[in-house]
Homo-oligomer: A and B are copies of this chain.
C-alpha cells in the first residue's frame, strides 16, 4: 500500500520508515534531538537522516536529499530553517512521502510573511496528497509503535491516554511531570499551526485505536468549527474526550446589537459546542489528568449509585458532600444487604451508606464489606476511603481491592487512601493494579461524577434531526434582498415580522401609519387597546428613547401618541430617518420569553432561549444550542432554564404552552439554517400563553449581512 493511501493513524503513528530532513550531528539542535529520540524510542522501522553537510548522523548513513534515499519513505520530519521548508517539502512530495511533520518555526505565528510561506507549503502538500502536522510544533509520539518523532525529552510511560495539545511547551511539561506521577500515554501530539491536520483529524485517527481509552485535548481555539460540529459528536460516542479550552475568544469585529449577542459572551459558543458534542469540558489541566486517571483505567459505571466504604467519619462526610455536589447518588441499601453486612461487621459500624468500618478496620473487614457491596445490583461504583490508623493495613487492603476489581470488572472502584508514607506502598499497589487513588476524597467523588455524566451521555439515543417544516422561503429571500440592495443591515419591524410569518411563527399583526390620522384610523379598525411605536430603521431600542406608547384606548390617545413618539425620536436620535409609526393591537399579556440567534463565526447560528423582557440581561436565565436543533435539543434548552418552572405553572397557576415554544425554536432553527444572511435576531418578548393557547412574537429584531 502506498503510504499516502494509508489512514491518518497508520501514516503518522505507524510508519515503516522515517526520514528526518535537517538531521544534525550537534546535540541540542532540534534536528539532532528528533533523530536521537526516534532511535532511543526503539522505533523498529528504517530511519534516514537527511543533511547535505553530513555523511553520518548518530551512526546512521546520512543522505544529501530525501530523493537520494534508496527505499520508500512513509513519514518525513522536517527541521530545517523556514525559508528552505517549501523546497524540501516539494522533495518529500516527489519522493512519495505520505505524511509530514514540520517542526520548523517561522510561519503563520510570525506574521504576514510567514503566513505566505505556510500557504506555499500547504499547496505543495495538497499537490502531492501529503498530510501535514505543524508547522511550528513539537512533533508526535506513539508509545506502542514505538516512535518518538518529537523533540520532547524521553519516552512517556505506556498507558491508555491520548493527549493532543495545541501548546508544545505544555505538552513537554506534562510529559516531564507524568513520569513521576505514573501517568502513561498511548499517543501524544503537538498540533502547532494546524496548517493541515487539526485536533479533530487526530481524534478521528486515534479514537478507534484499541490502546487508547480516553482522549485529552488542550486547545486555544478550534481549527474548523464546521468540521468540529459535524464530527465531534461521532467521536465522543466511541471514547470519552476530556478538553480544556484556554484563552478568551475574541469578541469579533461585528458590533453586537442584539440581546442575544450580548448574552452570548465570549466563551458561551465554545461551552455550547462542547456540550452538544458530548465533550467533557474541564477548566484546568490538572482536572484533565485526574479525571484521565480513572477514565483510562476504570469501566464507565452502568448506573448512578455509589457505595462509600471508610474507616473514618470526617473524610467520608467530605466524600458524601462532594457526591451530592457532583450529582453522584449514594446507593440505598436493601434490608437484605444491611443484614449481610451485619453478619461480620462490629456492632458499632455504620451499615448504611457510607459504610463505616470503624477506625480499627483491618484489611479483611474492607474485603468483606466490599465484596457484599460490589455484589449488590444497585451499587454501580465504589469509593474506598482509608485513613492510616493503628490497626490499618493499607498494603493488604490494596491487594484485596485489586482482587475484587477483577471479580467485578464492570464496576468502577476509586480509592482515597489518605496520608503520605503510611499508605505509600498501598497506593503503589493500587496504581499497579490500575485503580486510581486520590489523595483527597473530594476528587474521587468529582471524578466519579464526570464518569456518570459520560455514562448518561452514552445512554441517550443518537439524536435524529428535526423534520423539515413547510415554509415560504421566497418571501424571506425577497425581504432580505431588498434590504441588502438598500444597504440596510437592520430590518425594519414589519419586515422582520413578515419573515417570522413566512416561517409560520405567530406574530402580532401591525400596520404602518404615516400620519396621526392614519394611525387613529388603523387603531379604530383593529380595536382597542393598541400600541404605537416609532418606525425607523435606525432606532433599535425604541423604548429607551420614548418611542413606544402602550395601552392606548381611544383614537385621540393614538393621535397624541403618534406625535409624541415621532417627536421623541427627533429629539433623542435626530440623525435617524423616521417614516411614521407602527400601530398594533395590544396582545394579552403572556409569560415573557426570548428566543434569539447570534451567528458565531466559528460554529454558526447560536440559538438562545430564556426569560425575556427587561429581565433577560439582568438575570441571564438562558440556555444555548447551535442550530440546526434536534427536537431533543430544543426540549433540553427549555428545561435547562429556571423559567421552565415558571412555564410549568407555579403556585396553582396554569401551565404554559411549552409545545408552542418548542415549535417556534424549531422554526427559528430552520430559518437561520436556511438563511446564512441572518446574523442576529431577537424575538423579545415572545408572549407564551396557557397550554393550548400558543405563543406570540411581540417584538422582533433581525440583522442581516
Contacts and interface: CB of A to CB of B under 8 A. Distances in A.
A176 B388 contact: yes
A611 B418 CA distance: 44
Interface stretch (A14-22, A575-583, A641-649): A641-649
B418 A177 contact: yes
Nearest to A166: B314
A92 to B, nearest CB: 26
Interface residues of A, number: 79
B651 A247 contact: no
Interface of A: 28, 33, 110, 153, 165-170, 172-174, 176-181, 218, 220, 244, 246-248, 283-286, 311-315, 317-318, 320-322, 324-325, 348, 359, 387-390, 418-424, 439-440, 442-443, 541, 543-546, 611, 614-615, 617-621, 642-643, 645-646, 650-653
Contacts of A247: 317, 320-321
B314 A218 contact: yes
Given A315-B167, A442-B283, A421 B387 contact: no
Number of this chain's copies in the complex: 2
A618 B650 CA distance: 9
A650 B642 CA distance: 22
A614 B650 contact: yes
A440 B244 CA distance: 13
Contact of A544 (B311, B620, B651): B651
A247 B322 CA distance: 10
A318 B284 contact: yes
Contact of A324 (B248, B318, B439, B541): B248
A443 B618 contact: no
B284 A322 contact: yes
A642 B611 CA distance: 14
12 contacts: A110-B348, A166-B314, A167-B313, A172-B387, A173-B387, A176-B421, A181-B420, A246-B321, A614-B650, A614-B653, A618-B642, A619-B621
A387 B177 CA distance: 11
For the complex, would chain A's binding face be called helix, strand, loop or mixed by DSSP majority?
A: helix
A564 to B, nearest CB: 15
B172 A388 contact: yes
B387 A321 contact: no
A246 B180 CA distance: 32
B285 A422 contact: no
Contacts of A443: 284, 286
Nearest to A446: B284
Given A284-B440, A440-B284, A311 B619 contact: no
A546 to B, nearest CB: 8
A439 B177 contact: yes
A626 to B, nearest CB: 23
Contacts of A312: 167-170, 173
A379 to B, nearest CB: 22
A317 B246 contact: yes
Contacts of A423: 176
A442 B617 contact: no
Nearest to A541: B651
A168 B617 CA distance: 48
A16 B361 CA distance: 37
B442 A284 contact: yes
Contacts of A318: 170, 244, 246, 284-285
Contacts of A389: 169, 172
B315 A170 contact: yes
Closest 8 CB pairs of A and B: A167-B314, A169-B312, A176-B419, A173-B418, A180-B420, A170-B314, A284-B442, A544-B652
A113 to B, nearest CB: 14
A314 B544 contact: no
Contacts of A359: 169
B419 A286 contact: no
A419 to B, nearest CB: 3
Contact of A179 (B244, B325, B388, B420): B420
Nearest to A641: B618
Contacts of A611: 619
Contacts of A645: 617-618
B388 A315 contact: no
